[in-house]
Amino acid sequence: MLPLERLVESDRVHRTVYTDQAIFDREMANIWEKAWVYCGHESQLPKTGDYATVQIGRQPMIMVRGTDSKIRVLYNRCPHRGVQLCGSRQGNTGSTFVCSYHAWTFHLDGRVKGIPLSHGYVGTRMSPDNPDCSMKAAPRVDSYRGFVFASLASEGPSLLEFLGDARIAFDDMCDRSPEGEVEIVPVCHRVVQHSNWKFFMENQLDALHPSVTHQSTGIAAGRVERKLREEGRTPPLYYHYLSTFASSFDQWDSVQTVNFPRGHGILKGYMGLRPDDPDTKEYVAAMYRAYGEKKAEEHLGRSIHHVLVYPYLSVQSPLQQLRVLRPLAPNKTLSEIWHFRLKGVSAAIYRRALWYFNLVNSPATMINADDLENWTKGQWGLESDGGEWVSFHRNYGGDTRDNGVTYSNNGTSEVVMRSQFEAWRQYMSDEAP
């Protein structure tokens, strides 16, 4: 394997960054178990004792709402013999965690509550006043607009510093609600992709691939749209969700990306999401009442389709969708696909976002399947001896940088990948971006 400093060049990266186990292990230690990682949304835990299990790097964790209503993130491990305390993805544990092996019990903040036959530990180091007898907590937990993050590093940038300008993902999502809040829809799509996590992150802001990869679905949807118009009918918005994927190369090249420090980025809006119909007019009127016309139009007029929070989060804020990665191996990644409901809007407006959730982001859709196939084939190709380098040369040399933000005059520029690997190199070399 090449030395770490030679794996990433300004216009290409070595294939082993996608395939090597030692590099993956270092990513877990240097990136995933140090950076702020998304755990969930506050609305997942409405009651005391509600919990959701989550993986942070290699670490099994529990996000739980305590008796003081505070949300904590604890290691999912009994300090006695190491047994995981919560075996389900989510649930309610009541007022305590109870180990299923030897019945040690813990308060919801992780403090030990009861040790069976505790006299057996008299004179040993395992006494209730020893912190080693309590559940270990994530060193840092914070939230922004109801979205909960944890860091397993005791020091580092604050959550707001880490998010930087990428926090617009959560502002844009919440600001589209007349109440300024969203609540999670409890159904989560989970997909295991047989490829490295970087394929997903690169793909989300890759504006060249849609008209190639998703051509068959986009063209088919476009034909239906045209037929409905010829019959004098208005095509439902969900056909537009799909037909836009078949836009020309030139159209995609006009869609801009903005690339922030730490690998975060934005793909600007490319779809019309505001039809002129009674449901939309009712929604806009509610927004005007809540914010005033000027501020409401600012919220509704943002040009955003994707926001990436590197290295694990893709937020489609205008459609209230969020996808989060949980890497499992160099060639295996779990993606969780969550949907949110805007508080204070009608069922009709909610259904529009739900269409996208099911038509584009669910495991059953052809759009998702197209991407998964390409990423799998990409992984296979990079594991072969067919070449040593991955090219990110498109529009190289045409980037401009202003206050740490990188732009390109071409929306299909591979500046997205170059920006992500600049952050990756810093993380991996212990130069936290």
Q: How many CB atoms lie within 10 A of CB 280?
A: 18
CB 413, CB 257: distance < 8 Å: yes
pLDDT in tens, 192-225: 999 999 999 999 999 999 999 999 999 999 999 9
Asked if residue 119 and residue 258 are part of one domain, the reply reads no
Element (H, E) at 424: helix 415-428
Nearest to 61 by CA among 82, 81, 39: 39
Q: Give me the DSSP letters along 310-344.
A: TTTEEEEGGGTEEEEEEEEETTEEEEEEEEEEETT
Q: Is 80 exceeded by the pLDDT of residue 2?
A: no
Nearest to 105 by CA among 52, 150, 45, 49: 49
- For range 392-420, the mean pLDDT: 90
CB 31, CB 37: distance < 8 Å: no
Of 145, 174, 207, the domain-final residue:
145
Asked if residue 130 and residue 219 are part of one domain, the reply reads no
Measured CA to CA, the distance from residue 166 to residue 259 in angstroms comes to: 9
- For range 44-50, the mean pLDDT: 98
Q: Is 70 exceeded by the pLDDT of residue 230?
A: yes
- For range 34-43, the mean pLDDT: 98
Percentage of the chain exceeding pLDDT 90: 79
pTM equals: 0.94
CB 115, CB 121: distance < 8 Å: yes
CA 169 to chain centre: 10
Q: Is 80 exceeded by the pLDDT of residue 262?
A: yes
Label residue 386 by pLDDT band (50, 70, 90).
Answer: very high
Task: Report yes or no on 413 lying in a domain.
Answer: yes
CA 433 to chain centre: 19
Q: Is 70 exceeded by the pLDDT of residue 179?
A: yes
Asked if residue 257 and residue 139 are part of one domain, the reply reads no
Return the DSSP state at 117.
T
Asked if residue 411 and residue 354 are part of one domain, the reply reads yes
Task: Report yes or no on 11 lying in a domain.
Answer: no
Nearest to 84 by CA among 54, 64, 61, 51: 61
Asked if residue 195 and residue 131 are part of one domain, the reply reads no
Phi and psi at residue 426, in whole multiples of 5°?
A: -65, -45
Label residue 126 by pLDDT band (50, 70, 90).
Answer: confident
Asked if residue 170 and residue 68 are part of one domain, the reply reads no
pLDDT at 1: 66
Domain that holds residue 346: 165-428
Nearest to 27 by CA among 427, 431, 433: 427
pLDDT at 160: 98
pLDDT in tens, 314-333: 999 999 999 999 999 999 99
pLDDT in tens, 271-280: 777 888 899 9
Task: Report yes or no on 387 lying in a domain.
Answer: yes
Task: Report yes or no on 154 lying in a domain.
Answer: no
Give Dmax (Cα) for the chain: 86
pLDDT at 269: 79
Choice between 309 and 404, residue whose per-residue pLDDT is larger:
309
Q: Which residue has the tokens 């959730």?
A: 357
Asked if residue 418 and residue 323 are part of one domain, the reply reads yes
Measured CA to CA, the distance from residue 56 to residue 38 in angstroms comes to: 8
Choice between 5 and 222, residue whose per-residue pLDDT is larger:
222
Tokens encoding 332: 């295996």
User: What's the number of domains the chain is made of?
Assistant: 2
Asked if residue 281 and residue 132 are part of one domain, the reply reads no
Asked if residue 337 and residue 421 are part of one domain, the reply reads yes
pLDDT at 254: 87
pLDDT at 332: 98
Stretch among 85-94, 111-120, 142-151 having the lowest mean pLDDT: 111-120
Percentage of the chain exceeding pLDDT 70: 100
CB 136, CB 73: distance < 8 Å: no
CATH number, domain at 75? Answer: 2.102.10.10
pLDDT in tens, 350-384: 999 999 999 999 888 889 999 999 999 999 999 99
Label residue 51 by pLDDT band (50, 70, 90).
Answer: very high
Stretch among 27-36, 192-201, 248-257, 332-341 having the lowest mean pLDDT: 248-257
Asked if residue 263 and residue 177 are part of one domain, the reply reads yes
Measured CA to CA, the distance from residue 163 to residue 166 in angstroms comes to: 5
CATH number, domain at 403? Answer: 3.90.380.10
End-to-end CA distance of the chain: 24
Asked if residue 352 and residue 211 are part of one domain, the reply reads yes
For residue 319, the number of C-alpha atoms closer than 13 Å in the C-beta half-sphere is: 31
Residues 6 or more apart in contact with residue 69 via CB below 8 angstroms: 48
Measured CA to CA, the distance from residue 161 to residue 165 in angstroms comes to: 9
Q: How many CB atoms lie within 10 A of CB 236?
A: 14
Q: What share of the chain is helix, strand, coil (3-state, %, to 5)?
A: 35, 25, 40
Tokens encoding 387: 């070449």
Choice between 186 and 310, residue whose per-residue pLDDT is larger:
310
For residue 420, the number of C-alpha atoms closer than 13 Å in the C-beta half-sphere is: 27
Asked if residue 366 and residue 297 are part of one domain, the reply reads yes
Return the DSSP state at 273.
-
